[in-house]
Structure 1
Amino acid sequence: MSTEISPAVQQVIDQTRFDILSKTHAVDNASKREEIARTFISDTVTVPTEEMYTYATLATLGDDVYFEPSTAALEAHIAQLAGKEAALFMPSGTQSNQIALRTHLKQPPYSVVCDKRAHIFKYEAGGAAFNSNAHVVPITPANGHHLTLEEVQENVILGTDIHIAPTELVALENTLNGTIFPQDEIIKICDYAHSLGIKTHLDGARIWHVAIETGKSIRELCEPFDSVSVCFSKGLGAPIGSCLIGNKEFITRARWFRKILGGGMRQTGILAACAAYALTFNFPQLPRVHALTKKLEVGLEELGAIILSGAETCMLFYDPTPLGINFEEIGERAAALPEPLILGGSRLVVHVQTSEQAVDDFLSVIHQLAEEKKAAGWVQPANGHKTSAFKDVYVRRQVKLTK
């Protein structure tokens, strides 16, 4: 058999070649890691370490549409960890949540009850309507922190009135904007929903933070729900991936929807290995993450800023206006540092690759700007940081965030 390549074919081959690695590839990656250590926009910006890369190269080489051993092992571990029968690896948390909704919801009309700030309502491009033909009933929690049983009871739609879409799913989120949903309230809500034959789903993308902060096991935190989504990127520092968890029948049907929506991937072993590495080596770093977030909160309070939402886990929201400064000024000064800080407004997110120096430098920026304002004649409002008015405004307004 001849293997001689014609000039025309060789030309096609030559045109197709592409080397993605630049001459400064290693230096660029090192610089990126330094940048990420000083980025407070989100915990999705984390990148694999050299050690995670090395571990990933040892994964199996199966095809996940058929069977991939490393991925199957990860799914089995996550299912066992959550106390459920099965789990399914997903490319993203959004797909995991959307497939959960689509799997639970069978035949319209139906509605989903959730927090008005929930990811499935605000940040998944209207996926509940697009993918599941579902009406969403968003609730604004009166306490500004979490939904209560009474609020769910008031908004669940029952009966046979043809004018309204009956509730078939209650979806909760833990954490939500970094705050921890009290487990006793979760149990009440899920027990109530189940008593009516209504399914429950947990967007537990950052459930790892809840476990670290409360000491409750992942199993205990997931137990009240029919399905749970957990993320390996948010918080844990893996490059990609989430898992949807439930009983065997649920996951079998979810696997079908994953294929329909284009989520059936092939050699996912390297991604599963990154997730396993993150669970083993990055999860134990979350106490440090929480401590740094608390340091930010205490530092901002001492300077006189208002804390809109406190450092329960890895993020907080603040208002610098009592100091006479705004987010634009803070961002410009932070970006002008010899080692810039990357900020995103009122939300500060700490992650496993955040450096303590970045926290110190951020607080220094706020301090310097505040001192400059004082020197220019700014007078801080008396006890401004102790009032609840700013928090009330925060609860009422729609804060645009990138999750």
Structure 2
Amino acid sequence: MGSIDVVRSAIADQVKFDIFTQSQEADNEKARQQVARSFISDTITVPTKEMYAYASMASLGDDVYHEPSMIALEAHMAKLTGKEAALFVPSGTMSNQLALRTHLKQPPYAVLCDHRSHIHQYEAGGTAFHSGATTITVIPSNGHHLTLADVQSHIVLGDNIHTAPVEVVSLENTLNGTIIPQEEVIAISDYVHSQGLKMHLDGARLWHVASETGTPISELCAPFDTVSLCFSKGLGAPIGSCLVGPKDFIKRARWFRKLFGGGMRQTGFLAASAAYALTYNFPRLAAVHQLTKRLENGLKNIGINITSPAETCMVFFDPAPIGVTYSEIIERCDALPNPIQLGGSRLVVHIQTSEEMVDDFLDLLRTLADEKKAAGFVYSPHANGNANGNIYIRASKKQ
């Protein structure tokens, strides 16, 4: 072996790497079990063996040039949503930000949205960074969803040089698991378009709306110029979202995707995973909603306050009425022989949530409630208590 071959061999030894553990198959099975016992989010769902098998048969093109499976998926998404074209991107955040960047041409301008919306709260200030836009956030007057009156009272129009006029109104459906009534969406859309402005929908979990209400995807998308839909949340695909809209718009957005660093290569297996999710996982959402409602009813029966009911796949709760804090619940969930993961007041049910986990969680909360009651705690609402204005007081022994 020549000297250069020796050097190459040494470099090859440095480069090579086996990513798998000695117990990889068992580790993967453990991860699946953990996913089944987690309320953290529906983003944690993992590909099944069946999805992997389907994805392994995908085409082998380059998405920047020509990728047959991805082209087919984008064409299907355009048809499904009733739009002219579609663009696959790595994440919902990129999809939303590409939409806003493509809609917005020249500052000053603003985007109007719900104060809880993902584009405002959870996209790292991307609207300001990528598009140079300010965000007008609105608190729904009904506490549930934005209304036409909310939009009309907060929208900035005209050419007053002190203001940044609204160019895009962005809605989110679902938002924290809640559904915006379609008649309200249409009313807002009609008004916004009458002002010559654009409508964008963060429809990451729009699949849940279609499943729960029986409304076709195209009908839900019709009031909007552009829509972002996620494959990796409720549908359980490993990666990806899709942005849909007019043909010229998507062509421009594809250019911005490249600028953002989102141009991808062999994406066929991702397209196939999304196709598998659409075909086999979307029909499972109705059962997800039923399980979420069963969870909500169980919480109510224990005496726990529901702060946002189970309209789709989420329920928000306050354990103050049984004298328990979120920290106590998390600690006890971690200590179970088969732990349960949760992050606080939001409980998210997904296609891989086990019914056994829901039952175990409710049993644990019943136990905690009984322990607090036996210790003499009673619940009393007061002004200076926890985040919901409640505190705990210990009852006297006479009580």
Shorter-chain TM-score: which interval? over 0.9
Shift of 1:21: 1.2
- Structure 1 residue 310 and structure 2 residue 309: aligned? yes
Give matches, 1:277-356, under 5 Å: 277-356=276-355
Residues 263-284 of structure 1 show CA distances to partners (whole Å, capped at 9, x for unaligned) of 0000010011100000111111
Alpha carbons of 1:164 and 1:145: their partners in 2 closer, same or farther (altered >3 Å)? same
- SS for the counterpart of 1:200 is strand
Provide the rounded CA distance (Å) in 1 between the counterparts of 2:52 and 2:139: 42
Shift of 1:380: 3.8
- Structure 1 residue 138 and structure 2 residue 123: aligned? no
Aligned counterpart, 1:361: 360
- Structure 1 residue 379 and structure 2 residue 378: aligned? yes
Aligned counterpart, 1:183: 182
- Structure 1, unmatched stretches of 5+, are 395-403
Alpha carbons of 1:221 and 1:273: their partners in 2 closer, same or farther (altered >3 Å)? same
Shift of 1:158: 1.1
- SS for the counterpart of 1:157 is coil
Aligned counterpart, 1:33: 32
- Structure 2, unmatched stretches of 5+, are 391-399
Provide the rounded CA distance (Å) in 2 between the counterparts of 1:212 and 1:380: 38
Aligned counterpart, 2:20: 21
Give 1:304's aligned amino acid. G
Provide the rounded CA distance (Å) in 2 between the counterparts of 1:374 and 1:260: 59
Shift of 1:6: 1.3
Aligned counterpart, 2:393: none
Shift of 1:234: 0.9
- SS for the counterpart of 1:296 is helix
Alpha carbons of 1:390 and 1:294: their partners in 2 closer, same or farther (altered >3 Å)? farther
Give 1:18's aligned amino acid. F
Shift of 1:378: 1.4
Aligned counterpart, 1:44: 43
Shift of 1:392: 7.8
Aligned counterpart, 1:250: 249
Shift of 1:226: 0.1
Q: TM-score scaled to structure 1, two decimals?
A: 0.94
Provide the rounded CA distance (Å) in 1 between the counterparts of 2:51 and 2:220: 28
Identity %: 63
Q: Is the 8 A contact 1:64 1:267 kept in 2?
A: yes
Q: Is the 8 A contact 1:290 1:313 kept in 2?
A: yes
Aligned counterpart, 1:205: 204
Provide the rounded CA distance (Å) in 2 between the counterparts of 1:95 and 1:107: 20
Residues 329-370 of structure 1 show CA distances to partners (whole Å, capped at 9, x for unaligned) of 111111111110001100000000000000000101100000
Shift of 1:391: 10
Give the alignment's Cα RMSD to 1 decimal.
1.7
- SS for the counterpart of 2:7 is helix
Provide the rounded CA distance (Å) in 2 between the counterparts of 1:148 and 1:97: 21
Aligned counterpart, 1:192: 191
Alpha carbons of 1:164 and 1:392: their partners in 2 closer, same or farther (altered >3 Å)? farther
- SS for the counterpart of 1:22 is coil
Give 1:294's aligned amino acid. K
- Structure 1 residue 161 and structure 2 residue 160: aligned? yes
Shift of 1:156: 1.1
Shift of 1:66: 0.7
Give 2:78's aligned amino acid. A
Provide the rounded CA distance (Å) in 2 between the counterparts of 1:135 and 1:392: 31
Provide the rounded CA distance (Å) in 2 between the counterparts of 1:55 and 1:120: 33
Provide the rounded CA distance (Å) in 2 between the counterparts of 1:379 and 1:168: 52
Aligned counterpart, 1:401: none
Shift of 1:67: 1.2
Residues 209-268 of structure 1 show CA distances to partners (whole Å, capped at 9, x for unaligned) of 000000000000000000000000110000010000001010000000000000000001
Q: Is the 8 A contact 1:308 1:390 kept in 2?
A: no
* Greater displacement, 372-381 / 227-236: 372-381
Provide the rounded CA distance (Å) in 2 between the counterparts of 1:100 and 1:213: 26
Q: TM-score scaled to structure 2, two decimals?
A: 0.95
- Ranges of 4+ aligned residues in structure 1 off by more than 3 Å: 2-5, 389-394
Give 2:182's aligned amino acid. Q
Aligned counterpart, 2:397: none
Give 1:140's aligned amino acid. I
Q: How many pairs were matched up?
A: 387
Aligned counterpart, 1:107: 106
Alpha carbons of 1:46 and 1:331: their partners in 2 closer, same or farther (altered >3 Å)? same
Provide the rounded CA distance (Å) in 2 between the counterparts of 1:393 and 1:260: 47
- SS for the counterpart of 1:379 is strand
Aligned counterpart, 1:398: none
Aligned counterpart, 2:89: 90
Aligned counterpart, 2:53: 54
Q: Is the 8 A contact 1:306 1:390 kept in 2?
A: no
Shift of 1:35: 0.5
